[in-house]
Structure 1
């Protein structure tokens, strides 16, 4: 794990956006296409605001979320809605969105088709993750119903996940997909999350799911 500390959040968001843009550019030049996976929630919004203006061949970039709540885009809880508003705009509007939601009653009803679409863009070129104070990442929550399976090396790329802390049913990338990413960044803010991350580094992924990726991650932290 590489740990990068920044004097403030504004500087961190700018530098992380620049790093991601550089890594996507390298991948596009060498492979002709790239994939980017990002978290939902409010924390990465400033990264998206900068990244969407990067001069990249966005038409050959596939963008997918780490996870999604099983709600449609009309809901303020939709991560896809945030992605469209903050990242898939400006130059980045030319990117391809790989959905993690479909108009179906439950995640299981759409899992096969969504998994096929995700698999076409693996391994992920650049992976940006967040982390909760409970040490979850994506929708890999401690105590979640399918966590043990999602952590296995032979887990499918996508799984439905339910946990008390999650609220709605979720769909999430699984640990093998996260660990196969070519470049991994974890974005956290505040003293509580720094303490949680330091604790997670001493725990098992079953106890602290973020631990499944820390050995290959660059962690970016600001107060």
Structure 2
């Protein structure tokens, strides 16, 4: 499990871009396409802005999201909106290669099932099978949540689905499940800020409660990278 503590946020962004580009190019070379699930939040945005400047085979990249707030795609809180403005609108990627979570209906549970069906169709996998994305980017909240898997919530227990409904108080979201995240070929946590230290101490402890610190549950079958800035990783 590679763990790197970078001197500051800018250095972390540069390192993340380097790793992501390597894995995009490798996947395209080996299998003719690359699948990546994006994270929301402030840390990934400059990563996406840098990726927009790269010269890659965008027509062979397929974009997913690890979670999404249940808001319209033009809402300021939308992860999709942020990624489109920072990256996807700047490159020549076919719209068919962008696979956002549906969040404009009245029923998050129904939309979760619809999105799961679309993912299964894309990967041509049946019920009971879990597809593997090439790259999954994740952030972590100061409560130890990742994607929209929040402490002590029902979403943490879902094992028979790819997509489920995540809850933060009264706010509903769609999220990848723990088994789907853990099937990733390369899962990369991007963590910045001193406010993350208490949760990180628990996540890297040998005995903490995974229901209370959900990021502990992410133990993928492929690579697992943790990238920290100095503020976040100082006590590890």
The aligned counterpart of 2:89 is: 89
Return the match for 1:137 from 140, 146, 150: 146
Equivalence for 2:69: 69
2:104 is aligned to 103
Choose which of 135, 155, 173 in structure 2 pairs with 1:146: 155
What stretches of structure 1 of length at least 5 have no aligned partner?
Answer: none
Aligned to 1:44: 44
CA distance in structure 1 between the partners assigned to 2:174 and 2:8 by the alignment:
32
Q: Distance in 2 between matches of 1:221 and 1:201?
A: 13
TM value normalised by structure 1: 0.90
Q: State the distance in 2 between where 1:141 and 1:109 align.
A: 20
Q: How much does 1:92 deviate? A: 5.7
Greater Cα offset, 129-138 or 32-41: 32-41
Within 2, Cα distance between the matches of 1:163 and 1:192? 19
Secondary structure in structure 2 of the residue aligned to 1:192: helix
Find the partner of 1:183 among 183, 186, 207: 186
Please name the residue that 1:25 is paired with. Answer: 25
Give deviations 1:111-170, integer Å, cap 9, x for gaps: 222112223243110111000010000000002233222xx3xx2100012232xx5211
Aligned partner of residue 200 in structure 2, secondary structure: helix
Q: Counterparts of 2:181 and 2:37 in 1: how far apart (Å)?
A: 9
Match of 2:30, SS state, is helix
- Aligned pair count reads 217
Map Cα deviations across residues 70-112 of structure 1 (whole Å, 9 max, x no partner). 1002211111111111121333644721111243102112222
Over 3 Å counting, the alpha-carbon distance change for 1:9 and 1:208 in structure 2 is same
2:168 aligned residue: 163
Residues 73 and 103 in structure 2, CA contact (< 8 A), matched pair in contact too: no
Between 205-214 and 87-96, the greater mean CA deviation after superposition: 87-96
Question: Is the 1:70–1:106 Cα contact (8 Å) retained in structure 2?
Answer: no
What is the distance in 2 between the residues matched to 1:204 and 1:25? 37
Deviations 1:12-59 (A, max 9, x none): 101101210110100000000110011111221011011122222111
Q: TM-score, normalised by structure 2?
A: 0.85
Q: Which residue of 2 aligns with 1:192?
A: 195
CA-atom RMSD, angstroms? 1.8
Residue by residue over 1:182-210, the C-alpha shift from the partner in whole angstroms, topping out at 9 and shown as x without a partner, is 01110001223144223112324322110
Secondary structure of the residue that 1:206 maps to in structure 2?
Answer: coil
- In structure 2, C-alpha distance between the alignment counterparts of 1:117 and 1:87, rounded to whole Å: 23
Cα distance, 1:2 vs structure 2: 2.1
Equivalent pair of 2:149/2:166 in contact (CA under 8 Å): yes
- 4+ residue runs of structure 1 moved beyond 3 angstroms? 92-95
